[in-house]
Structure 1
Amino acid sequence: MNRNDLQQIAINWFEQQNWVPFAFQKQVWTAFLQGKNGLLNAPTGSGKTYALWVAIVLEYIRKNPDYLSEHKKGLKAVWITPLKALSIEIKQAAERFVEGIGVPLTVGIRTGDTDQKERAAQKRKMPDLLITTPESLHLLLASKGYDQTFKNVTAIVIDEWHELLGSKRGVQSELALSRLKTIASQLRIWGISATIGNLDQARQVLLGPDSSAFENSTLIRANIKKRIKVKSIIPKKMETFPWRGHLGLHLLEEVIPIINKSKTTLLFTNTRSQCEIWFQKILEKHPEFAGEIAMHHGSINKETRIWVEHAIRNEQLKAVVCTSSLDLGVDFAPVETIIQIGGPKGVARFLQRAGRSGHQPGKESVIYFLPTHAIELIEASALQKAVKDKIVEDRVPYLNSYDVLVQYLTTLAVSNGFFPEEIFPEIKSTFCFQSITKEQYQWVLNFITMGAQSLQSYDEYKKVEIEADGKFKVNSRGVAMRHRLQIGTIVSDAILTVKYMKGGFLGSIEEWFVSKLKPGDVFTFAGRNLELFKVKNMQVLVRKSNKKTAKVPSWMGGRMSFSSEMSELLREEMYLANSTSGKSRELNALNHIFEKQRQDSIVPGPGQFLIETFKTREGYHAIFYPFEGRFVHEALGSLLACRISLLSPITFSIAFNDYGFELLSDQEIDMQQVLDNDLFTTDFLSSDLRKSLNATEMARRKFRDVAVISGLVFTGYPDKLLKSKHLQSSSQLLFNVFKEYEPDNLLFQQAFTETFEHQLEEGRLQLAMERISTQTILWKRCQKPTPFSFPIITDRLREKLSSEKLADRIRKMTIQLEKS
């Protein structure tokens, strides 16, 4: 059969569904049948799943024209998804097509949720098409004879590649692909990516920058105009002194009519705790929604999450309050409306969430933006511009993640074993390890066979043996079992399960939150008020409570920072505040705040950098406004504090948010001296940053993740996980040993590199300081806090006060400021 005949099979099937294939779907089918690799860039809900499933099935028909009488068993294609929740849908799409055209291909799922019976069945007989996650793929590479399992695979598709790209799961995927390219000679590699800025680099990372796979590849963009309507919910009455902390609940009644007039609404919150609070408050104020509203976040148990997903599909729910657990790929046709509560901190995340509504080709997506405080309306205005001008963030890939490499080589040693000289070219062909030297590779090999130089006397670190023929192999069953239990790169705080004393399992919660509770304390979880009875064997035993006030769990992932693109858009909007025309309705709604800001200080323009100083009963405040996001401000605040203290001995407490940072002291800063000494210079940036931030302490915390991924520290067996403080103390002990005796240890060095590159975003800090050095610095001596400074000051207070006391304190401060 030629290509046209094959494509006609798909076109006929599309017609039976009353669909017409998009141009990009046909382009993918053609490129795949030509033997090309590639990256498909298409918006959410545009039919990208069928672009690749159809191509894979057509290729099978071409190679096996007698497929009805002679079906060859065995794995033929692998579909990798970052989220287990997506696998059922992907399976349904594949089955719908193969059954529709009568091809006898079986489809299976292999994730952490797959039960033991199903895994055993797969071991005996693999499905033709397998849907899996990066972790489960590595677990397959850790099983003996994996090369026989994968040798006839003709296609690997990595879905949501933009999500994996900027993480160590992306590195994990790169290494797996480097191995499979060697084993499966007919292999075609395709990635699917939605919103991302650096598409060409994304394709390089996927295929390997200098590989033949990259040379024989194509980038296909779906030219589908996805209409996105952004509507801001503007409060009728707005405070003049905005503060972060009321979670947007003052606008709850504005949300109810939106929910009522839509078939289904998803309310996206940025944190799990905010999700819990909104769910509780809607039910409290509107009990008529009982049974029609649900909650979805990553810590709720699997059964409940799956039930919620089915209920959305079947139009049983009016609204779902959720977090990023529903961000990706979940295809809910009935969802009409999205409400984003608070700034999403990034354009891509906002677009991804908008795409959840009208999730069908040609349908308009509607997203409402609900500001949690007034100044977030500037973000709403900036996001509208980004949507209009199609501005999206880059995802920064990881380089030289030696912890992932150590884990991967141990995986190969657990299964068939490996010869180092055969594997080295494969590793070097990946984007992450393109610059790895022979010496660094030898260090990693020494590490897995002997432990680090300073740990050679301890047998537990000698995991891999070198056999007589030079093969590297794990022969200990205990080592192999512990390694398989720990495959993966997602390291979180120790997770405890929440369970009724008599009865069911409710979900999971991070240990650091539970460690702050005493028996008898009441906390909100999964939409219920629960009283803690005791913590035993990694389980939090609870009973229902009728108490009205309860603590809300917070999760470590709760504080996100602006992306650099978002920061730039925000600055541009801020500069527009001074113009008389061309302003959005959001900026016009903030006129009274800008007016008050001008009375007390200024609203900076494009070439200006604002510094405000004033005195309160707390001390002397100096506030700086780079508008660069909280991570950059945390680093810049510490750096500046360190440089000022070199001029005169002075100690500061530092507060920061996405707009600026505050240095608070009991003595006045000589600001003229600060400006005269050019303290914003980028000279000696790295060394000053190391001094100012206690980089060793930050790297020590980062090293815990590196130690777990590389297998230096064992996290425990499933029913007996180690507490995070034990993990932390084990990894700290190793960190101290390396610091003292082996400072050139690659894993020790990696902890510092990741701290600066990914946590502190040193590159962004450098660019911000270069920008500030070209601006005119305007120092305003103010009599009292300004509207711009107010959110930063109140953010610092929240660390010290309970939420009730904080609200009272802020109310008093606001009354005083408005009087004056």
Structure 2
Amino acid sequence: MSSRKKTIPSPLGKDREGLFQIAQDWFQQQSWKPFAFQKESWTAFLQGKHGLLNAPTGSGKTYALWFPIVLNYIKNNPDYKTKHKKGLKAIWITPLRALSQEIKQSAERITEDLGTQMTVGVRTGDTSTKERARQKNKMPDLLITTPESLQLLLSSKGYDKVFKDCSAIVIDEWHELLGTKRGVQMELALSRLKTVSKDLRIWGISATIGNLEQARQVLLGPETKAYDNSVLIRAKLNKKITVKSIIPKEMETFPWRGHLGLRLLEDVVPIINNSKTTLLFTNTRSQCEIWFQKILEQHPEYAGEFAMHHGSVNKETRLWVEQAIRNESLKAVVCTSSLDLGVDFAPVETVVQIGGPKGVARFLQRAGRSGHQPGKESVIHFLPTHAMELIEASAMQKAVQNAAVEDRIPYLNSFDVLLQYLTTLAVSDGFYPNEIFREVKQTFCYQAITEDHWQWLLNFLVMGSQSLKTYDEYQKVEVEEDGKFKVNNRGIAMRHRFQIGTIVGDASIQVRYQKGGYIGSIEEFFISKLAPGDVFTFAGRNLEFIRIKGMQAHVRNSNKRTNKVPSWMGGRLSFSAQMSELLRQELYTAASPNPSKGGEQSEEIRALKPMFDKQREESKVPKPDEFLIETFKTRDGYHHLFYPFEGRGVHEAMSSLLAYRISLLTPITCSLAYNDYGFELLSDKPIDIQEVLDNNLFTVDYMRSDLQKSLNSNEMARRKFRDIAVISGMVFTGYPDKGIKMKHLQSSSQLLFDVFKDFEADNLLYQQAFTETFEHQLEEGRLRMALERIAKQEIVWKQCTKPTPFSFPIITDRLREKLSSEKLADRIKRMTKVLMK
């Protein structure tokens, strides 16, 4: 990129051509040329339209929307160089705090070069109290913030005056928010801002998703003026993405998921050495910690130019790593999805994906981090953590060729988020129910809300629910004489502001040195398993646990070796529907031992020939019209394996459903294990598979009621209800530094759950817990489709004498729950020896 010069805008015409000339002159000064999609966005914005821009990371999307925002200000203020009109003019929403500095730099570049005197500010959870107070008195012209911080602004008195002259709101990375409760939070904020800011233009930026049109409906409200006056702009940039698989020199015939791909560590070293900067993406924070440790152990020469980045590492370290990537002072960074989005650093040359990314969109997003400039080729290396993941690598190649990407399914009727939002409005200036009901009903999430629902929610705010109305603590909102709903109690208002947000994780505990230095945060469930003196690896160091004090874990550095690595609840990703479909297609190409008959085979599938040959010896590789079941006996018991290839989430539900239906035929107890490829029922006596087939136990009839009985759906709904109780404000999570322990949260939400179960089964929040369990956690819709597909396939039942390569990862997964890493590795060596005879 050329060195920057100050640009002086050409003489200003109020017409669009004059404004465009300013932008084009600026681009020319940078030796750039605006893309067609950027110009299209400028035109639509300046015409007063709303829109959704579909553009990949690194394509110049920030300039597609910062520019028209600034040009619009210039158009309305011809003497902008000498006079400055104060006040908030535009908001840029980012789902990740890490991106805010990057977006701020892009905005400042334009405002300064065009001599506009416009100020740019950031307001996120990382913003200091001093800076917030300053912003309260004098808002920046352009504000970069997160969905949560925007809600906090709506909870402050006189927010309507702050937003009244706001002309634009841009929601960046909309695909990340869609299909989450943060997305619902955004829908509600937009419904309010449309009323408060008369000249507001709403724009979303999204990477490619399957349901882009629906994404626009969710952003703007399906049947609203905003939707009718909107555009969908696609950046048609033919970005070349190349996927290179790291294929082991010796192929395992019996793949297992135990070694996290570390066997291929030395294959990664030349990739790191041949590029300026490499990002190594792992799927979980614990895998990230392990890879960081192992590479440094085996290659101490990387010390000082090798770093780690994940969401639990402290902010200073994360910012330092991001800056170091930008100025190319790091050779490689091991990271998680904390670097998936944005963080515009052009210099990243190479990306390595360790293990299957479980979804096409996530994979493309990560690939796009390399060659992160318009027109540059993106290269991503795929490192399998076990042999069967090479099938995923092969499926990814096809996904990239066909640009096949997942849908993001939006939430409907999230009453917990709506209650939080109504309390937010009641905390600030209060609200009149009729006015807000009209706004809420225009959102996608609440388009089907009824008067009865609304009445129930209002009663809930004022009295708590029917069964709780004798308790004062649930009565938060008062109704004033003119019918306005208002929170007048300062304590309630303060507690509410502390708890605004929809991300409810396991409670995090700060990890600090005994002398006070902050290292990062870990979920409570991991720390609760440690005894004083235990050593664990975190943030690239070996730490000895001393004690817990308040919400802090005190530690000291340790030289002891350890295999304890924090695991996070978010670490068990499941295949998307799109990914499962692609995986099956790839697997079917391996079904024929003779490729000329079975369609074109990829390099990865050919490399797996030893494994497929071994699979055929004992069992078979299923064809498209076949559903494979395997049974065999070991010293652990009778194994029954089923291979739908539908992803972990669907298999969890399907295995429970099948086990329950079998128990109705014969009293039997089984333990369940599942991964992305299939599931296992392990029992102490054999299950008659013929009887399972004769009784059509894979039917979709009575599916939901059988699921409810099979899964102890009460227990799952109870866990979901904890989050709903927190988001809706029924349970308070505590003040900063004095968090309430997860155990207490769990017990208070469980008490409420039981009260509703026994006395108030029509409680909307109680019902929502079950809806979310079935629709989101168990993916009921996908389960139904999978069962319908199996019903059309020919069932192939193989009675084997020993475990097969397909069954091996599932069996070892189950063993891992019981055995330490060393014992597991020994046991697997012995098993493999027996099987190879």
Report Cα offsets for 1:602-632 as digits up to 9, x if no partner: 1000100000011111111110000000010
Which residue number in structure 2 is paired with residue 642 of structure 1? 660
1:324-723 alignment, distance < 5 Å = 324-579=337-592, 580-581=595-596, 582-723=600-741
What is the letter of the counterpart of residue 34 of structure 1?
Q
Supply the distance in 2 between the matched residues of 1:499 and 1:668 (Cα, whole angstroms): 52
Which residue number in structure 2 is paired with residue 205 of structure 1? 218
Report Cα offsets for 1:493-539 as digits up to 9, x if no partner: 11111111124110000100000000000000000000011110111
What is the letter of the counterpart of residue 86 of structure 1?
L
**SS of equivalent residue, structure 1 residue 65:** coil
Alignment counterpart, residue 766 of structure 1, candidates 771, 784, 801: 784
Deviation of the 1:385 alpha carbon? 0.3
Is 1:154 matched up with 2:185? Answer: no
**SS of equivalent residue, structure 1 residue 334:** coil
CA contact (8 A) 1:239 1:374 kept: yes
Q: Runs (4+) of structure 1 moved beyond 2 Å?
A: none
Is 1:275 matched up with 2:288? Answer: yes
Supply the distance in 1 between the matched residues of 2:316 and 2:489 (Cα, whole angstroms): 36
CA contact (8 A) 1:633 1:661 kept: yes
Report Cα offsets for 1:460-509 as digits up to 9, x if no partner: 11000000110000000000000000000000111111111124110000
Supply the distance in 1 between the matched residues of 2:333 and 2:94 (Cα, whole angstroms): 23
Supply the distance in 2 between the matched residues of 1:468 and 1:450 (Cα, whole angstroms): 17
Deviation of the 1:700 alpha carbon? 0.2
Task: Structure 1: give runs of 5+ residues left out of the alignment.
Answer: none
**SS of equivalent residue, structure 2 residue 349:** strand
CA contact (8 A) 1:613 1:622 kept: yes
Which residue number in structure 1 is paired with residue 825 of structure 2? 807
Supply the distance in 2 between the matched residues of 1:434 and 1:518 (Cα, whole angstroms): 51
**SS of equivalent residue, structure 2 residue 133:** helix
Is 1:296 matched up with 2:309? Answer: yes
Is 1:115 matched up with 2:128? Answer: yes
Is 1:737 matched up with 2:751? Answer: no
Deviation of the 1:195 alpha carbon? 2.4
**SS of equivalent residue, structure 1 residue 799:** helix
Supply the distance in 2 between the matched residues of 1:86 and 1:794 (Cα, whole angstroms): 39
Is 1:789 matched up with 2:807? Answer: yes
**SS of equivalent residue, structure 2 residue 260:** coil
What is the letter of the counterpart of residue 773 of structure 1?
A
CA contact (8 A) 1:378 1:586 kept: yes
Which residue number in structure 1 is paired with residue 84 of structure 2? 71
Supply the distance in 2 between the matched residues of 1:245 and 1:24 (Cα, whole angstroms): 46
Alignment counterpart, residue 186 of structure 1, candidates 199, 211, 214: 199
CA contact (8 A) 1:195 1:351 kept: no
Report Cα offsets for 1:527-561 as digits up to 9, x if no partner: 00000111101111001101022411111111000
Deviation of the 1:58 alpha carbon? 0.7
**SS of equivalent residue, structure 1 residue 335:** coil
Supply the distance in 2 between the matched residues of 1:360 and 1:449 (Cα, whole angstroms): 53
Alignment counterpart, residue 177 of structure 2, candidates 142, 159, 164: 164
**SS of equivalent residue, structure 2 residue 436:** helix
1:136-151 alignment, distance < 5 Å = 136-151=149-164
Supply the distance in 2 between the matched residues of 1:420 and 1:429 (Cα, whole angstroms): 14
Is 1:315 matched up with 2:328? Answer: yes
What is the letter of the counterpart of residue 728 of structure 2?
S
Which residue number in structure 1 is paired with residue 56 of structure 2? 43
Which residue number in structure 2 is paired with residue 287 of structure 1? 300
Which residue number in structure 1 is paired with residue 40 of structure 2? 27
Supply the distance in 2 between the matched residues of 1:106 and 1:541 (Cα, whole angstroms): 42
Deviation of the 1:578 alpha carbon? 2.5
Report Cα offsets for 1:280-323 as digits up to 9, x if no partner: 00000000000010000000000000000000001000000000
What is the letter of the counterpart of residue 573 of structure 1?
E
What is the letter of the counterpart of residue 772 of structure 2?
E
Which residue number in structure 1 is paired with residue 5 of structure 2? none
CA contact (8 A) 1:195 1:352 kept: no
Supply the distance in 2 between the matched residues of 1:447 and 1:501 (Cα, whole angstroms): 45
Deviation of the 1:43 alpha carbon? 1.0
- Counting matched residue pairs gives 819
Supply the distance in 2 between the matched residues of 1:722 and 1:227 (Cα, whole angstroms): 49
What is the letter of the counterpart of residue 521 of structure 1?
D
Is 1:86 matched up with 2:99? Answer: yes
TM-score (norm. length: structure 1): 1.00
Supply the distance in 1 between the matched residues of 2:208 and 2:603 (Cα, whole angstroms): 27
What is the letter of the counterpart of residue 19 of structure 1?
W
Supply the distance in 2 between the matched residues of 1:669 and 1:738 (Cα, whole angstroms): 39
Deviation of the 1:68 alpha carbon? 2.0
1:234-253 alignment, distance < 5 Å = 234-253=247-266
TM-score (norm. length: structure 2): 0.98
Deviation of the 1:71 alpha carbon? 1.8
Deviation of the 1:180 alpha carbon? 0.3
Which residue number in structure 1 is paired with residue 143 of structure 2? 130
What is the letter of the counterpart of residue 622 of structure 1?
H
What is the letter of the counterpart of residue 592 of structure 1?
P
**SS of equivalent residue, structure 2 residue 722:** helix
**SS of equivalent residue, structure 2 residue 553:** strand
Deviation of the 1:69 alpha carbon? 2.7
Supply the distance in 2 between the matched residues of 1:235 and 1:783 (Cα, whole angstroms): 28
What is the letter of the counterpart of residue 771 of structure 1?
R
Task: Structure 2: give runs of 5+ residues left out of the alignment.
Answer: 1-13
What is the letter of the counterpart of residue 559 of structure 1?
R
Report Cα offsets for 1:201-253 as digits up to 9, x if no partner: 00000000000100000000000011111000000011100001100000000
Supply the distance in 2 between the matched residues of 1:445 and 1:104 (Cα, whole angstroms): 45
Supply the distance in 2 between the matched residues of 1:70 and 1:543 (Cα, whole angstroms): 57
Supply the distance in 2 between the matched residues of 1:764 and 1:756 (Cα, whole angstroms): 11
**SS of equivalent residue, structure 2 residue 544:** strand
Supply the distance in 1 between the matched residues of 2:112 and 2:742 (Cα, whole angstroms): 48
**SS of equivalent residue, structure 1 residue 491:** coil
Supply the distance in 2 between the matched residues of 1:719 and 1:249 (Cα, whole angstroms): 38
Percent identity (aligned): 75
Deviation of the 1:330 alpha carbon? 1.1
Supply the distance in 1 between the matched residues of 2:448 and 2:801 (Cα, whole angstroms): 56
